Structures are given as C-alpha cells and as structure tokens.
C-alpha cells in the first residue's frame, strides 16, 4: 500500500477534515524531511498486551490480527514466542493465515529465541537489547561487552534464518548517544541489521529531542529508521510525528494506545494527525479505526476515556447550548466547521446532542422537533430552566423520558 501526500490547493480543508492552514505554510514546513512512505508497525499483540492485567488468548490474538490486516496495517508484531506455548501457538497460527500484513515477532537477543521465531513462520523479527549503561549494569547485571556480543550473535542468527531484522535498543534515550551509535555500528557490521528502531522506552523525550535523535541516527546509520516512543509524559504522538518529519520510515503504535505503564503511542491519533495536519497518508482504512478500537477494548477489558479523540464514545457528543446552535446551523452543509474530522471518516457513530446543565434553547428545540412536540417560546424557556435544575441535581444528562416528563409538568 503506497503512502501519498494529500495534494491540492487547500490540503487543510477537504470534505473529510478542516484543520489550520498554518500547518502548510512554507515557514512551518521548510525543515521537514519526511520519507517517501510511512509504514505502520502495530505492536498491540506484544507491547500492548504488556499492559498490567491484560491477557489475550490465542483466539483473541487471531481476531485482532485479522482486524489489523483488514484496516491496512503494514506490519503486525504478533508477540514473543518464548513467552509461553500459547503465545507461540498464536504466532504460528497468525503466520499461517496469509494475511495482507507482514507478520513479525519480538525476541530477546538470544539465538534460541531467534530460531524459535523463524520456526513460527514469521517474515521479520524485532530483536531487543538494553542500551543504557545503567540498565545493563543495574537491571541485567551484565558487563557492557556482553550486551554487544549477544546482539551480534542474535542478529547474525536472524540473517541466517532469512528474517528481516529490526534492531531494537531498550532505553536508548537515556543512554550515551556515542555509545549507542557505536553499538549500532558494531551490530550492523559484525552482526546484521535491516533496520534500526529509535526507542524511547520510558517516554522521556521532548519533541525537540525526538527530532534531534532521529537526525543524529540518520547521519550515522544508512538503514531504515523505525520509531517506538512511549507516552509517559503524554508526548508519544508528538514525538513520533517529529521523528517522521525528520525521516523516520516506520511508526510503532497500538490500537487505543494500550500498553505498559502509560501505554504506547496510539495509532488513531498518530495516523490521523499525519494525514490531516501534515498531508502524509499511511494508507490505513481510517473508516475502520473505530471498529478496531472497539474490538481491542472488548478483548483487553481496557476502555478509553469517553472523550478520547476520534474513538471515545462521546468524542462527537454535544451538550453545550452554544455548540448545539452551531451544529443546527452548519452541520448538514459544512460538518467540519463543528468537528475538525468528520465522524464518518473515522467510522464513529453520528453526533449526539444530549440534554443537561450546559444545554440551551437549541437543545430543547432540537429534542422537541425530534419528538414532534411544538413548544412556545415561553414553554421552551421554562423547560430549559427545569432541565438545568434537574441535571444539576442528578449530576448527569437527562433521558428522553425525563425530558418528556418535564414538558408534561410545565404544561399542567
């Protein structure tokens, strides 16, 4: 699937979205150096499942993998076969399904892990190694040279097995950059590497540092660069985008942002921001993002906040009287005046107008019209006053039956 830049005189305004034209000003974009294509490497089944209390069964993993392929994900990281027999069985089964996505798995820097991965039938492997001195010496109790030797042996074994090999350095962003780049150089020359992953394991990069990190690596390493950033400070999407704009070719994301600690960079927000704010189309079927999000929430037991961008149940819900007025006046002809991305474009349910403390006369009149009830101006104002009082006292929005009850009370 090819990635295309959104073309036209007004890429910031299409039938599907309406964002700021400033995003496309030459003064803003002059230093951007994105690659020709950007691929999505989904890690829901591996890093996503590392979220505490989340357990995917073999059938769960197969269902999610099939949905990921359906929405056009380029690569699926199916798990780590060495974790358990169930994980191994799931990976083997997914690899047999001949899905449209490339099938990868994850491995420690150990030759037996690599051989097991190859035996599962995957086409690619992500091989991890700790890369910060403090984590190697304190967390693993290894001498630094051991980390290098293990990496060389494991990646060389992956090449022998015919696997596309992605080298993955844990805690890279808290390591010494010279040490990190020397490690990568040695692995590339003495072992094997088809691509290198920029890894911000603990989500500690700033957006500016994400740009710096990407550029320094690309200056030194003539390999495709992949981006694996965590959002511990809420910056996963911003950092991933900055790395893409500095030349990163593959983004590691999860559906809904599920993952260890604060999670992983969420696919939905990242691919939609790339598309609408930067004109970079990853080729995902955006209309199926909500389907995928609901499936992962169902199988993981982890729900997103109701106002989560694009996939939250209330992402397109309106209570405010002012905004309801905008909605009534413009949505039918110009829907993206009210919502920057059309709900249909991301597969979300249509906008919902609710009745509550912040509602106004437009809410009352819209509900009354829907129920074929004609209210005088005085009646509408009296109904609104009672709606606000009752919603305040109940600390929630009102149901349709409660709204009709208020009208009945007003008319007695």
- Last residue of a domain, which of 252, 270, 300? 300
Q: pLDDT band for 332, please (50, 70, 90 cuts).
A: confident
Q: Is the Cα torsion angle 75, 78, 79, 82 positive or negative in sign?
A: negative
User: Is 307 within a domain?
Assistant: no
Q: Are strands 250-253 and 124-130 parallel, antiparallel or unpaired?
A: unpaired
Residues 269 and 368 in one domain: no
In this predicted structure, the answer to whether residue 325 has a pLDDT above a threshold of 80 is yes
- Last residue of a domain, which of 273, 300, 327? 300
Q: pLDDT band for 411, please (50, 70, 90 cuts).
A: confident
The CATH number for 103's domain is 3.20.20.70
User: Is 306 within a domain?
Assistant: no
Token digits for 352?
A: 């919902």
Residues 358 and 224 in one domain: no
Residues 281 and 398 in one domain: no
- Please report the pLDDT score of residue 9 as a whole number: 65
Domain count, the chain: 2
Q: Hey, is 399 helix, strand or coil?
A: coil
Residues 252 and 324 in one domain: no
- Please report the pLDDT score of residue 5 as a whole number: 47
- Residues 6 or more apart whose CB falls under 8 angstroms from that of 185 comprise 220, 221
Beta bridge partners of 101: none
User: Is 325 within a domain?
Assistant: yes
Residue 156, CA atoms < 13 Å, CB-side half-sphere: 11
User: Is 309 within a domain?
Assistant: no
- Last residue of a domain, which of 238, 271, 300? 300
In this predicted structure, the answer to whether residue 209 has a pLDDT above a threshold of 70 is yes
Which residue segment(s) compose the domain that 336 sits in?
317-411
User: Is 157 within a domain?
Assistant: yes
Over residues 47-59, the mean pLDDT reads: 96
pTM: 0.93
Q: pLDDT band for 77, please (50, 70, 90 cuts).
A: very high
Q: pLDDT band for 183, please (50, 70, 90 cuts).
A: confident
DSSP character string of 205-228: --HHHHHHHHHHHHHH--S-EEEE
pLDDT in tens, 269-305: 999 999 999 999 999 999 999 999 999 999 999 999 9
Residues 325 and 370 in one domain: yes
- Please report the pLDDT score of residue 8 as a whole number: 54
Residues 101 and 158 in one domain: yes
Token digits for 374?
A: 């004609």
Residues 350 and 282 in one domain: no
pLDDT in tens, 85-103: 999 999 999 999 999 999 9
User: Is 165 within a domain?
Assistant: yes
367-405: burial string, b at 16+ Cβ within 10 Å, e else: bbeeeebebeeebbebbbebbbebbeeeeebbeeebbee
- Please report the pLDDT score of residue 260 as a whole number: 94
Q: φ, ψ for residue 167 (rounded to 5)?
A: -90, 130
User: Is 305 within a domain?
Assistant: no
Residues 361 and 289 in one domain: no
- Please report the pLDDT score of residue 2 as a whole number: 36
Q: pLDDT band for 134, please (50, 70, 90 cuts).
A: confident
Share of the chain above pLDDT 90, in %: 85
In this predicted structure, the answer to whether residue 386 has a pLDDT above a threshold of 50 is yes
Of 22-26, 98-102, 139-143, 186-190, the one with minimum mean pLDDT is 139-143
More confident residue, 146 or 285: 285
- Please report the pLDDT score of residue 139 as a whole number: 65
Residues 21 and 65 in one domain: yes
Residues 231 and 175 in one domain: yes
Q: pLDDT band for 4, please (50, 70, 90 cuts).
A: very low
Residues 65 and 177 in one domain: yes
Residues 79 and 104 in one domain: yes
User: Is 308 within a domain?
Assistant: no
């Amino acid at each position: 699937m090819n990635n295309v830049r959104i073309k036209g005189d007004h890429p910031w305004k299409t039938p599907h979205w309406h964002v700021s034209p400033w995003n496309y000003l030459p003064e803003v974009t002059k230093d951007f150096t994105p690659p020709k294509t950007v691929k999505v490497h989904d890690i829901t089944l591996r890093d996503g499942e590392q979220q505490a209390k989340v357990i995917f069964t073999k059938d769960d993993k197969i269902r999610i993998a099939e949905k990921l392929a359906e929405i056009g994900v380029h690569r699926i990281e199916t798990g780590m076969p060495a974790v358990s027999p169930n994980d191994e069985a799931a990976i083997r089964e997914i690899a047999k399904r001949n899905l449209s996505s490339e099938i990868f798995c994850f491995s420690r820097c150990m030759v037996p892990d690599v051989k097991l991965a190859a035996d599962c039938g995957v086409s690619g492997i992500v091989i991890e190694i700790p890369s910060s001195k403090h984590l190697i010496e304190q967390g693993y109790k290894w001498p630094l040279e051991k980390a290098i030797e293990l990496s060389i042996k494991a990646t060389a074994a992956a090449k022998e097995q015919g696997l596309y090999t992605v080298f993955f350095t844990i805690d890279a962003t808290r390591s010494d950059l010279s040490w990190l780049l020397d490690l990568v150089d040695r692995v590339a020359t003495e072992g094997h590497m088809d691509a290198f992953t920029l890894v911000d394991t603990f989500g500690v990069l700033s957006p500016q540092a994400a740009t710096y990190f990407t550029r320094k690596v690309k200056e030194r390493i003539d390999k495709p660069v992949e981006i694996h950033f965590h959002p511990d400070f809420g910056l996963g999407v911003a950092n991933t985008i900055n790395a893409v704009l500095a030349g990163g070719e593959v983004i590691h994301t999860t559906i809904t942002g599920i993952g260890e600690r604060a999670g992983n960079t969420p696919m939905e927000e990242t691919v939609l921001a790339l598309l609408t704010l930067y004109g970079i189309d990853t080729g995902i079927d955006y209309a199926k993002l909500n389907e995928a999000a609901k499936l992962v929430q169902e199988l993981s037991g982890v729900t997103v906040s109701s106002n989560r961008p694009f996939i939250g149940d209330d992402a397109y819900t309106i209570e405010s009287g002012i905004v309801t007025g905008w909605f009534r006046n413009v949505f039918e002809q110009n829907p993206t005046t009210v919502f920057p991305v059309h709900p249909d474009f991301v597969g979300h349910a249509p906008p919902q107008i609710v009745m509550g403390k912040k509602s106004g006369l437009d809410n009352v009149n819209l509900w009354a019209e829907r129920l074929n009830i004609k209210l005088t101006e005085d009646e509408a104002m009296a109904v609104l006053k009672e709606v606000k009082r009752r919603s305040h006292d109940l600390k929630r929005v009102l149901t349709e039956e409660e709204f009709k009850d208020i009208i009945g009370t007003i008319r007695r």
